[in-house]
Amino acid sequence: MRVAIGTDHAGFVLKAVVVDQVRAMGHEPVDFGTWGMEPVDYPDFIAPAARAVASGDCERAIVLGGSGTGEAIVANKVRGVRCVEATDPVLARLGRLHNDCNALSMGGRIVGTEVARACVEAFLSTEFEGGRHVPRLGKIAALEDEECAAGDRAD
């Protein structure tokens, strides 16, 4: 599986841990940056990672920042991306199991390396449960369609 990785400067240190865990699980990390500790604007790196999932170039994304919140917001703005912000592996697992999340967000100032590894493990190894959750995903997709249509009418 190809996994898009996007981070800002505050998540940069955690990125190495995440990339190592993705590789250890037999997957291919695709690095969308950033590549250093110099302050950057996180949407510039998170949006391309999320778009790689939306386009099908990558199956999943992991986005990192200081808290993970802004990164999750950006990823969730990309049509077809469902990003879970996780501070523990239970949230990462449930995001996949119940919401078929295809992106995981974590904060480098919030989670430590062992928790991050466990979140990545849970996120990449859990399959969507389907069943009663499928109609909910349809409703989420319908909301995206409504918002896109409303945006078209606003011009």
12 pLDDT above the threshold of 90: yes
Give 118-132 pLDDT, tens digit per residue.
Answer: 999 999 999 999 999
Catalytic residue among 28, 71, 85, 127: 71
Residue 27 annotated as catalytic: no
Residue 114 annotated as catalytic: no
Give 86-144 pLDDT, tens digit per residue.
Answer: 999 999 999 999 999 999 999 999 999 999 999 999 999 999 999 999 999 999 999 98
Catalytic residue among 9, 28, 59, 98: 98
Q: Name the amino acid, one letter, at 34.
A: T
154 pLDDT above the threshold of 70: no
15 pLDDT above the threshold of 80: yes
**Distance of alpha carbon 155 from alpha carbon 150, whole angstroms:** 9
Cite the DSSP H helix spans in the chain: 12-24, 43-55, 69-77, 89-99, 113-125, 134-153
**Distance of alpha carbon 10 from alpha carbon 12, whole angstroms:** 6
Q: Which fold has domain 2-129?
A: Ribose 5-phosphate Isomerase B; Chain: A, (3.40.1400)
- Looking at the whole model, is its pTM more than 0.75? yes
